[in-house]
Amino acid sequence: MRLPQKIVYACKAILFLSKLSDRQKPVKIEKIAEYYGIPKKYLIHILIRLKNAGFVQSARGISGGYFIDKDPTRITLGDIVKSVDEAILAETDTRLDEKDAIGMMLKFLSNEMTRDLKQKLDSITIDKILENLKGEKGLVYHI
């Protein structure tokens, strides 16, 4: 399965902010964008969604930027995916035809895989990922 780029970018932004930011020292968008090679305008839209979901907060002004606003032990990959692209976790694949046994079977399998994916994503928290990053150089982590 190939994740949409916006989900990958959202996960990278959350990890970056979880590791490097706090309310006293927000991280500028440019720093995240430059580090990961994410287009700044695209990152702004992603951060707005993450802010609306309550994961990050922004600070205005010359020393402003974004910081993590929720405990990383309480943010799951499932939460991030839902905030950025909930359609990927939709159980019903409208392309599957239920008029015959093969179509019904494929729809059942598709729904089962989606449920398994949701369960897995909901079990992985940002703090677990950060724990796996300890000892690694930089913030390289493949999701």
pLDDT, tens digit (0-9, with 9 covering 90-100), for 56-93: 999 998 888 999 999 999 999 999 999 998 887 776 66
Within-domain flag for 143: no
| Cα(61)–Cα(91) distance, integer angstroms | 43
CATH of the domain at 34: 1.10.10.10
Per-residue confidence band for 94, with pLDDT thresholds at 50, 70 and 90: low
Within-domain flag for 140: no
Calculate mean pLDDT across residues 120-135.
90
Within-domain flag for 24: yes
Domains in the chain, number: 1
Calculate mean pLDDT across residues 4-20.
93
Structural domain of 122: 5-133
| Cα(117)–Cα(85) distance, integer angstroms | 14
What angle do helix axes 29-36 and 5-20 make, rounded to 10 degrees?
Answer: 120
pTM of the model: 0.82
Within-domain flag for 86: yes
Q: What is the mean pLDDT of the chain?
A: 86
Within-domain flag for 84: yes
Within-domain flag for 142: no
Q: Which two tokens stand for residue 113?
A: 């895989």
